A = this chain, B = another copy of it.
Amino acid sequence: MGLPLAQALAGAHSDVIAFDTDTARVEGLSAGMDRNEPEEGGFEVPASLSFTTEVSDLAAASVYIVTVPTPIDGDQRPDLRPLQAACGTIGGVISKGDLVIFESTVYPGVTEEVCGPLISEHSGLKAGTDFTLGYSPERINPGDTVHTFATMMKIVAGQDAQTLDRVAAIYDPVVPAGLHRATSIKVAEAAKVTENIQRDLNIALMNELALIFERIGVRTADVIDAAATKWNFQRFTPGLVGGHCIGVDPYYLISRAEALGYYPEVIRAARRLNSSMSQHVAQRAVQMLVHLGNGVAGRKVGVLGVTFKEDVTDFRNSQVPEIIRQLHDFGLAPVAHDPHADVDRFREEYGIELRSWEDLVGVDVLVLAVPHHAFLGRPRDELFALARRPGVIIDVRSALNPAEVPEGINYWSL
């Protein structure tokens, strides 16, 4: 999230310093290479933008913008360590009169009750007088070329009216879509988690409906097509929820709510259901395999796509590795392919070796887990040719037209 922001800011501000602790990443970016987007080639680094790993380079800044990730730990509690580390770093270099803006997704209160005090502690300066706090949630949608930094309205907030003006002045020249001035930092923090929780919940509803409609014997995609003809129906589709936003942010608000004595049941129910969908997909694959009548043990299952959503390289919190693990547990031999995922980093993270498209030829079950354009753009014949006859296709996102599936292949979609 930091890179597109720094690039945008450098278009209007004369001295933008992009700081990261990852030396390899900073070296690459300094040379105009973004390893997360290897297919896009390089980019030009303007004179107004510099990349650094040196904390001392930050001391010259008068405005700090923090875009570190806010993940969850193994117990699904907020892991504020990256944010705390950033506050420590800033606390070491901040000067009187400086402004610190946070863009990371947090629960309402983190900026003023956690970050402000930490910076004070490290700097000996006082939040609100010696330095001030702002918040402006990032809204970048990975893989989306329509809703980009420039075309999305941005929420800004400050701890007082003057600070809000100052925050707005930073973003105003680089956000042509305009700014929304939230009434407080907490309101802006709450708005961001609300956006993502709403998505999580609506996908959970479609997943729950898919489980029900499957039992009733109707195709969920047909139901959604019909319902979507109503003016106020919101088209969401069933599927796997992963990534570093939708599947993570709800836990931030849940944690805060529970600390305050309220136990969210709607938000929790959505999380629980969405988290169980990988299991459902794996189970369905096995059931359909059993019905082919040639046994289960050792059968080859092809998995297309392992990233957290289509057309991105990011596989953080993807549910596909969990599907692969479950298929293993059933004694199957899953083989996964993804043209966008970095093979080495995926092996490092999940211990799973990604394979080539050709390695998937002859699978008994083909799981189209992530409908990348790279898959859907191929002639359908090539896709269907991967599966044996009789065989099974598991179309997790209903990306295929069931009428096109050739004879001898049993089709299932969520």
Contacts and interface: CB of A to CB of B under 8 A. Distances in A.
Sorting the interface of chain A by its residue count into under 10, 10 to 19, 20 to 34 or 35 or more gives 35 or more
A35 to B, nearest CB: 29
Contact of A195 (B108, B153, B230, B261): B230
Contacts of A109: 216
B226 A155 contact: yes
10 contacts: A109-B216, A180-B225, A183-B222, A191-B224, A194-B223, A198-B234, A208-B265, A215-B261, A215-B262, A234-B234
Interface in A219-275: 219, 222-227, 229-234, 253, 256-257, 260-262, 264-270, 272-273
A188 B227 CA distance: 8
Interface string A176-205: 000010111011101110110111011011
Contacts of A166: none
A213 interface: yes
Contacts of A59: none
A147 B147 CA distance: 29
A357 to B, nearest CB: 32
A229 B178 CA distance: 10
A218 B187 contact: yes
B253 A212 contact: yes
B266 A229 contact: no
Interface string A139-154: 1000000010000110
B155 A229 contact: yes
A292 interface: no
Contacts of A219: 183, 187
Contact of A218 (B184, B198, B222): B184
B187 A229 contact: no
Contacts of A184: 218, 222
A157 to B, nearest CB: 8
B265 A273 contact: yes
A319 to B, nearest CB: 17
A241 to B, nearest CB: 13
A356 to B, nearest CB: 35
Contacts of A195: 227, 230, 233
Contacts of A147: 231-232
A211 interface: yes
